Structure 1
Amino acid sequence: MSIIDSQFSIHFWGVRGSIATPGISTVRYGGNTPCVEMRCHGKRLIFDGGTGMRSLGHDLMRYVPVESDIFFTHTHWDHIQGFPFFTPAFIQGNKFNIYGRQTPSGATIQEILEGQMLHPNFPVPLRVMAASMQFHNVKLGEPIELGNGVIVEPGALNHPGEATGYRVSWGSQVAVYATDTEHFPDRLDPNLVYLARNADVLILDCTYTDDEYWSEKSPKIGWGHSTWQEAVKVAEAANVKKLAIFHHDPCHDDDMLDAIGEQAKERFPNAVMAKEGMSLEISAGDRDREAVLSSSRAGAVDLTH
């Protein structure tokens, strides 16, 4: 089975956290903010709408009409700012189901996405998007059945303003998308370990190193993100097969991410550094194959379907 024929595959369109970081020092891993696509047994799922969503949208235009389910972890800028530039949303005949939890103040995902496209922030309102869009409020403890046996299980993450992780399963095949989340200082987050249980692939927030997180001069405690060292602990506790280190800090250039990847592999041999243009395949016979497609240049990724 090739990556093109895979029934369950993961494609990375944006892997950077906090703010987009284009430039010569981020070319290999990419500078776009979070957007991950999963193709699972006839269903297309999109997680988060960071700036990587623009590149995904350009790719999807080759396959109109497009139907997809879009899941937002939360509504911080780096996870929604690509949505107004998602070209398929402007095309009549395309269909999208859009999922997200209400914010602590009670705002729905629809209200947040509409709000960022109002003056003076954006020139055209959401209503000019001609695609069919249905909005759904995600509730913890209520799995979402998408059809074809694909089930999405939401789980709470530890992040300022709240965030939601998602567990995608088809039978025994499982991928988990968990960003943004901060580890606890004295124990593993039981909600996160449960969400990631026995997953084939865990995509996890690893923004910082331990040294950065606990720095005496500029600690990152309470900023809502974890470290790759803590991610390894979660992967081991949850019996994860492959760990994808994700949500790279904007200050981490390609060389530093190379070094982090080497250290992570020493601790967890099946750790990989998420990068734009990378695809991971989950299959019953071979769950560990990966393909880095020909273009890994930030903002110019072309994933083959």
Structure 2
Amino acid sequence: MTEQQSQFSVCFWGVRGSVACPGEKTVRYGGNTACIEMQINDELLIFDGGTGLRLLGQKLLPAMPLKANMFFTHSHWDHIQGFPFFVPAFVAGNRFIIHGAISPNGSTIEQRLNDQMLHPNFPVPLQIMGAELKFCDLDLNEVVNIGDITIENALLNHPGEAVGYRVSYGGRSVAYVSDTEHFPDRLDDNVLRLAHEADVMIYDATYTDNEYHDVKVSKVGWGHSTWQEAVKVAKAANVKQLVIFHHDPMHHDDFMDDLAVQVAAEFPNSVIAREGMVIDLPVLAAQPAY
């Protein structure tokens, strides 16, 4: 057997939470909401469909026809609002397998994506999309296998519920933990399980501790965490690299620069997510010798 390097890349197309915030003060880190692309050899995985999904769609057009698996954490607007503007979904010949957990009220990911495109919210229905759309309801803790890729999920602490994901391939793993709120007296066992010895943990650090506990406008119960809690999880789970994600729309570029310094002082192998940022994980896969 010989060894050949496989591809495992993570690209960030939207890194904000709550609402898109384009403008002169968010140019360097980006203003689009959550969307992450993972390319693992020939398999394309897309996590969440915030406004960053529109940009990813434009990039993918030259590569059509496309097949991709899409995984949604939940259906709050900042995670689905880009889906109606995802151009490849309107093109016949493309195929998208769309995964999402059933919400507490019993609605499926298909129903929720459909409903946001109904009148009076949107001019055309989901059914006008020309691509083949296959919807798959995820059970909590269900394991999805796509070839040699394993995708696990676990429930997060978020109003209306959300799930986090762990993607594993070739001995490498990436944990995507957004949106979640830390517990006041302990670390979340589900988050620790997703992040355990991960090469990369992408974590919802919308607030600072001071913002979270602000006496005038407390963020307790809003469903998001802090960078200080991200560091605690990264250390406890023995994560190799921490990615701060789901930035508050009020956090401008200079704020994020300062934040990067503070986080790195506590966890040196850390980075603040930016639109367009790519993380490559080298994977050596055994190949037949000829």
**2:140 is the alignment partner of 1:140:** yes
Give the residue type in structure 1 aligned to 2:83.
F
Distance in 1 (CA, whole Å) between partners of 2:24 and 2:30 is 10
Distance in 2 (CA, whole Å) between partners of 1:141 and 1:165 is 10
Return 5+ residue gaps in structure 1 as ranges.
286-305
User: Deviation digits for residues 84-126 of structure 1, max 9, x if unmatched?
Assistant: 0000000000000000001100000000000000100000000
User: Deviation digits for residues 266-290 of structure 1, max 9, x if unmatched?
Assistant: 00001100000100011148xxxxx
The 3-state SS of whatever aligns with 2:233 is helix
**2:216 is the alignment partner of 1:182:** no
Match of 2:204 in 1: 205
Match of 2:14 in 1: 14
Match of 2:288 in 1: none
C-alpha contact (below 8 Å) 1:6/1:281 kept by paired residues: no
Structure with the largest fraction of strand: 2
Distance in 2 (CA, whole Å) between partners of 1:98 and 1:247 is 22
Match of 1:296 in 2: none
User: Deviation digits for residues 187-207 of structure 1, max 9, x if unmatched?
Assistant: 111110111101001011000
Distance in 2 (CA, whole Å) between partners of 1:6 and 1:32 is 29
**2:67 is the alignment partner of 1:77:** no
C-alpha contact (below 8 Å) 1:96/1:132 kept by paired residues: yes
Distance in 1 (CA, whole Å) between partners of 2:8 and 2:164 is 19
C-alpha contact (below 8 Å) 1:16/1:249 kept by paired residues: yes
Match of 1:93 in 2: 93
The 3-state SS of whatever aligns with 1:73 is coil
Q: Root-mean-square deviation (CA), in Å?
A: 1.0
Match of 2:256 in 1: 257
User: Deviation digits for residues 138-179 of structure 1, max 9, x if unmatched?
Assistant: 1112200111x0010011111000000010001311011110
Distance in 2 (CA, whole Å) between partners of 1:106 and 1:212 is 34
Does 16-25 or 37-46 show the bigger shift?
37-46
Identity of aligned pairs, percent? 58
How far residue 31 of structure 1 moved from its aligned partner, in angstroms, is: 0.2
User: Deviation digits for residues 190-249 of structure 1, max 9, x if unmatched?
Assistant: 110111101001011000000000111111000000000000000011110001000000
Give the residue type in structure 2 aligned to 1:43.
E
Match of 2:167 in 1: 168
How far residue 42 of structure 1 moved from its aligned partner, in angstroms, is: 1.9
Match of 1:41 in 2: 41
How far residue 6 of structure 1 moved from its aligned partner, in angstroms, is: 5.8
Match of 1:155 in 2: 154
Distance in 2 (CA, whole Å) between partners of 1:121 and 1:141 is 33
Distance in 2 (CA, whole Å) between partners of 1:208 and 1:99 is 28
Return 5+ residue gaps in structure 2 as ranges.
285-290
How far residue 41 of structure 1 moved from its aligned partner, in angstroms, is: 2.7
**2:123 is the alignment partner of 1:109:** no
Match of 2:222 in 1: 223
Report runs of 4+ in structure 1 exceeding 6 Å deviation: none
Match of 2:55 in 1: 55
TM-score w.r.t. structure 2 length? 0.95
Distance in 2 (CA, whole Å) between partners of 1:283 and 1:53 is 25
TM-score w.r.t. structure 1 length? 0.90
